[in-house]
Structure 1
């Protein structure tokens, strides 16, 4: 497929497409123009592939241009898709590109299409009322991200949808905003009849989705959202459901509990959303999701809209589409043909470090690369998480994993978001879907054994248009996993060494300088006599006296500077480069 202007074969002759980044399409291109305050939804029978999304940027600054592929791929009959399953595919393999290629080979007679506005400005979407815009702007949102732009009309008009984009792209509002506005326009909000179910792989993500949807309320009691998950008393959730609810968000296991207890009335259900569908599969929830979908199919006579959102499209998602979704489902794919499958604007670094030296190396990397910013440290086990969180060298840290009570985990996330501590040590299960916008550094104590885990871990930084750094520790035993990630995720790790002691001290001093700027000058007179004594003790050398004071304040005043291997980070070793003549 050529970028810009070109041709693509859909099975019945060449089909032209126009890249949104190249300006408006030529006259007679088949697109209907939006000329006023009417809807941008424009059905048409011409087989043109619509324009793609743009790159991400800071909210309010517009989106950086990139050469992304067209976002919409017209869907075909799911029944006509190739039923054969390549032997090489596993359930967790990302078959998104293959899936779209397969759909393109099917003969297409007609399909509904959409004009995607050239930008994400709210004014370009007249279906979003001014009061909603005001609510979002008051919470810091100035425009829509590409995934939100491209998904708005398919979801708003009730189409089944599969959407793929990189982590941290804003997928929650991509389904939440159009669903809420559709129900609001239909006058159904606030009638306490269940209209939408959103399934999430973890409790943390379920709570986060609920918090995001609450931002769309015009008033506190406009509609009711209930969050259901395990680890808490089910009776409170039962009472909430029986009082009536407009939307509920939940984890699959607890949703199944409520289905078996017949606590859920599906009679008015309009939509079901699977958020982070690939992670549901990875965490072993495939059977739960299948059971929920079968239960809904049995109880609801009218077809329910199904939307699947994911950073990758495993084969299981393709199977779900074939079995449960309408034959004219839509695909919004902003990760198609991208070699780099990780979040944009992430710098990927790797440091070789022996297992026995990892805590010392981690402590110094946190100072050198983290500074005063928020950092998430990933471990594979709860034992490792507790060890790091309790070590005296790891400062300003709290731990989160599955053995910690749910209310304590929620309190930890809240405190971390509020900046009450800087370093969160977490296992994968406890941190799935965490959306904390100002995390600038992610550290992985060892490379994960699969690429999807790396994608989701690294995606905890560089969110909402920010940039970030992901550092992965490795050693000779697990180096193969690092190589596999490079190949599968389409990234190149930059090899770095553990910071040298003098570099660590200089980095910690930067934080000290910021703290000194907060000193109230009205208090300085108290230290005049002490300052004179220190200067006199150093023979009137003011600079030396200041250096001594700074060294003491930084905490680096007793230990002797030691050398450190540039290769492994091991203390008391010197790296020597041998150069032949």
Structure 2
């Protein structure tokens, strides 16, 4: 007998679940389903991301609802569009053998008229993000008076995203006698308050220890200098030829720039962040699920609800601001009992944050060494050898070409053929990583070294000598955001955003950094610029922000190079900005084939 039948699930649903490849229930499903099937109490379930929570609440709902009535009986709230669609699609798959089951996904970024039309046709289960659900409630387009069950999925993340007031407003439209089921990966105080406010003596279930990480995930960290972060990241990727991963960044700009740099360097990568339209997000996710993308570069919010099987690695290009978000990030790998690796790229100053995360997840990180160029070449070579050995040979199709192939290799011994074939790949990596430098940084550095690593103070790459700091007489009072300022500078100077470092937006003026090599171009680009009829002035920052010497000269008084650069333009170790991938030649890290 199928183990799901023993939990009390009807055969029609068990058959559908079996066809989806679910043979045995996960621990959260095994313990939650019997409790929820009683339908008699509120419920709090704490389990890590990727442990099968959707089936844990979805299967009991299919047993408890009356599908002969076309009115809302269950409401499922979740934080993101992706998770909303995933839950709705899973419920449709689970219920495919049951008649008259109607599930509607309600989320922002899609046509609200289509969603309203589906609701009017009749629905028993509504899966929604809070913002769009409130919009539909405000239009008086749905009646929740018959709702019997409310599910709050990823409750901790909904609160992190600021949805508490929305959740309160939505729940106020549902009957008091309903049952509330709350699922969360972590249990901060805010989630505990929701449980207290909306539940009566709930049944509590914890699978694993509160706030801990998945035991099937190995956690590693690499210590690098800020300027080497992108190069180190690429080397880790190259050292894992079969990587299928998600790379987390802190901001949308960082996400987009890393993705663009990777694409330029020959990797199958793309970005997923909040500025993309729903159509763009769907396209990126479709490519990722089909594995035509090897690396998905994402922000925390955009990645919520991503349920893709067999993700091998999660890479934290930047550690999250909220430590608990690390649990959600790492939970993208090692799903459904698989194993995975979560990697953090850190500077020496962030070692304390790793220790904090260790305390939260209850598991130690392993300090790993960034592989040498030789190590990468060796790993790639044997990955090729294993791929050749495992390839399926289509005898029928290749047979017609074999005589010509044999003629080509007539003068070669077996050893010669192998050496030539292997060298096709090996030579590319050997050339790419020739004289590759050691990118590992010491975990404990001197105070002077620590000061040099502070990328926020010295520009995004962490080294003042690579950037020139400029002043512009526009600021926030002119209704500029940092993004607006970035676009304004790029348009007037005709440069890429990747050439710009930190933008320090003030009230009536702004400081910004540009690569030394294009500073003159930027200054000249603003010679005739104006904004709303007012002349725009761009100068070297100099004394305006504590600088001195010849760096303080303005565009009009500067002679020659003006002493503008505070360091050599051709530093041999300045090959990468810390995340954009913009290259100034560095031996050993040439552009990927």
Which residue does 1:45 correspond to in 2? none
CA contact (8 A) 2:144 2:173 kept: no
Separation of aligned partners in 1, 2:27 and 2:46: 11
Give the match for residue 227 of structure 1: 105
Please, which of 9, 12, 20 is the counterpart of residue 131 of structure 1? Answer: 12
Partner in structure 1 of residue 163 of structure 2: 285
Residues 401-447 of structure 1 deviation map (CA, whole Å, 9 limit, x = unaligned): 11111122122222211222221111111101211121011111022
Quick one: distance in 2 between partners of 1:242 and 1:439?
39
Who is 1:362 aligned against? Answer: 233
Q: Find the counterpart in structure 2 of residue 562 from structure 1.
A: 435
2:27 maps to 1:149: no
| 1:390/1:220 CA distance change after superposition, 3 Å | farther
2:137 is the counterpart of 1:265: no
On the 8 A contact 1:208/1:435 being kept in 2, the answer is: yes
- Give the TM-score taking structure 2 as reference length: 0.70
The residue number in structure 2 matching 1:189 is: 67
Alpha-carbon distance in 2 for matches of 1:406, 1:325: 35
Measure, in 1, the Cα distance between the counterparts of 2:89 and 2:207: 25
Question: Alignment RMSD, CA only?
Answer: 2.4
What's the offset of the Cα at 1:551?
2.1
Pairing 1:307–2:188 present:
no
Alpha-carbon contact 1:154-1:160 (below 8 Å) kept? no
Cross-structure match for 1:213? 91
> Using the alignment, how far apart are the partners of 2:257 and 2:281 within structure 1?
18
Aligned with residue 416 of structure 1, among 288, 302, 309: 288
CA distance in 2, matches of 1:559, 1:290: 56
Matched residue, 1:578 = none
Contact 1:165–1:310 (8 Å) recurs in 2:
yes
Q: Residue in 1 aligned with 2:477?
A: none
Q: Greater shift after overlay, 445-454 or 218-227?
A: 218-227
Identify the residue that residue 540 of structure 2 maps to in structure 1.
Answer: none
Q: Structure 1, residues 98-145: CA drift from partner, whole Å, max 9, x if none?
A: xxxxxxxxxxxxxxxxxxxxxx922422x3122211111111011211
Displacement, 1:502?
1.7
1:236 aligns with 2:117: no
Deviates more, 1:264-273 or 1:151-160: 151-160
User: Which residues of 2 match residues 519-534 of structure 1 at below 5 A?
Assistant: 520=394, 522=399, 523-532=401-410
Instruction: Answer whether contact 1:199 1:275 (CA < 8 A) is retained.
Output: yes
For 1:324 and 1:385, how far apart are their aligned partners in 2?
A: 37
Are 1:505 and 2:383 an aligned pair?
Answer: no
SS of the residue corresponding to residue 95 of structure 2 reads: coil
Structure 1 SS opposite 2:409: helix
> Are residue 198 (structure 1) and residue 76 (structure 2) matched?
yes
Map residues 363-442 of structure 1 onto 2, 5 A cutoff: 363-369=234-240, 371-391=241-261, 392-393=264-265, 395-442=267-314
Shift of 1:241: 1.2
Distance in 1 of aligned mates of 2:68 and 2:410: 71
Per-residue CA deviations over 1:480-537 (Å, capped at 9, x if unaligned) read 322221222222110111111122122222442354334545234322333246x4xx
C-alpha displacement at 1:461, in angstroms?
A: 0.3
The CA distance in 1 between the partners of 2:266 and 2:187, in whole Å, is: 37
* Corresponding residue pairs, total: 437
Is 1:275 aligned with 2:153? yes
Q: Which whole-Å CA distance do the structure 1 matches of 2:270 and 2:133 have between them?
A: 30
Residue 496, structure 1, aligned to residue 374, structure 2: no
Mapped partners of 1:291, 1:335: distance in 2: 32
Q: Which residue in 2 is equivalent to 1:329? A: 202
In the alignment, is the contact (CA less than 8 A) between 2:85 and 2:105 conserved in 1? yes
Does the alignment pair 1:122 with 2:8?
no
Structure 1 position 180 matched with structure 2 position 53: no
1:139-160 per-residue CA deviation (whole Å, 9 max, x = no partner) reads 1011211111211133222211
Change (3 A) 1:563 1:321: closer
Cα contact 1:389–1:397 (8 A) shared by 2: yes
Q: Secondary structure at the match of 1:215?
A: helix
Counterpart Cα distance in 1 of 2:166 and 2:266: 39
- Gap regions ≥5 residues in structure 2: 443-572, 576-585, 589-593
Query: Pick from 123, 130, 133: which aligns with 1:252?
Result: 130
Q: Which runs of 5+ in 1 are unaligned?
A: 1-36, 38-119, 575-581
Contact 2:324 2:360 in 1 (8 A): no
Structure 1 residues 510 and 193: CA distance shift in structure 2, 3 A: farther
Partner of 2:527: none
Match of 2:216 among 345, 360, 381: 345
